[in-house]
Structure 1
Amino acid sequence: MDFIQILVLAVLQGLTEFLPISSSAHLILVPVIAGWQDQGLAFDVAVHLGTLAAVVFYFRHELQLMTRDWATSLARRQTVGDSRLAWAVLFGTIPVGLAGLLFEGIIETHLRSTLVIAATTILFGLLLGWSDWRGRSSRDEHSITWRDILIIGCAQALALIPGTSRSGITMTAGLMLGLTRAAAARFSFLLSIPVILLAGGLKTLELIGAGLPVDWTALVLGAAVSGLSAYLCIHVFLKLLERIGMMPFVIYRLILGGILLLLAL
């Protein structure tokens, strides 16, 4: 991999992991346009670790409180402070974990075509726009109920279908349940932590088993760039979200999906 490829793919991962615009759509389109070969499993692991570090560092204070209150809630056997939010993140991850175990083979075999990704990019983009327009937008993430956790968790499982966008579908579900834009985004970002951790762990095991040669310079640079771009993405997105809404991302998804349809047909 040359420097430009490392830089572009790392920035792409950092941005698309958290913006509601589908990382899989971009990872198909950009290499096709640039004529690049596959970047390899090791690089995928590195950039995922970079985005994980970014979201953990950004929400470090919230995570400290959640972890402390979660441990206290276990000892007292009752809700304490931010323990509800911690439990919400943990239980909200279960559906995607189960779906990944049950349907990974089907998804890998039948749902990774450019046509499928184009269709889901458009469909779930329209659903995001509708939920943003219709959402009641009156609740924060601390008001999440068990019903909300189940619905958002199941929505996150849909993100295993390429083109859906994990952040996009969880924000969509949150908005439909009456969360504010900022609350839906923050809960989506918190939900990403165990998901990225699990996905990165599985890819690391695959990498170890494959015994492939490692370009450490590319990995370190990729992780650093993806982490920095992810951190800036989260910060700017949360600052501007209430002002600009989801419509710019909906329009972007429709354009991107249209381009992918042209490539697929």
Structure 2
Amino acid sequence: MCPDDITSVEALNRFKTLFPSTKLVIFIQNPVVLFQEMYNDLAYHKHPNKLPSPNELVGSCANKRCGGYTRGCGDTESICTDRMKLHHQLSHFGKTPMSVDEKKLLRVDVRTIPTRNEILLFEHQQVFGEKAFSQNATKDLSTFLRLKHSLPEVHHAIRPQELYQEKQKRTHFINICDDEHKKARDILLRIAHEASIWICDYFINSTDVTVSSREVFTDLVEEWRSDPCVDGFLS
């Protein structure tokens, strides 16, 4: 399943019909950090072409396609602040009652496709962060999938300097903490805050949703409500 399928009503309808019992494993990440990582990945692969500045990518991805570079599931990659609204994407699964308070956090009437699929949710740092709890993660994954054998421990993520080895192609990398990106960062901080509340208060309370090491997961997602630039997570 392509990650972008979560945002497509048509794709979710097909998935619901063809794979009604398939279990889903989903990783989520702080939207501020995710935006920077996606931007820099695209900037690296589109070099020497320069992307629009983060402040120009505020709002919908419509008419903001960076073009010319195909990634992932075969679509031309695009990036914008709206794409970081992970709570919007997760809400499409129809796992929550869509109360008035929920809709205030989502800010729009999201069209849901209620599914029976069980979901296992990880916060990115649980597996790939400096404080990775990869041993617990693999145990939780094995239990969720009802495997009869143990899974190997997950390796930590490759660091950016290892992944992006050609220095020249890193010319247009950004640090979202820089003052020049404040407009975009402020929007992303609001998105991260609202996503954190919705995920912790609504989504993970669904009987169809399991989280790995619930207390650790909740602590990590609640950290989204703080500015990672101030906290030193991004620098």
TM norm structure 2: 0.28
More relative contact order, 1 or 2 (CA 8 Å, 6+ apart): 1
TM norm structure 1: 0.26
- Higher normalized strand content (fraction of residues): 2
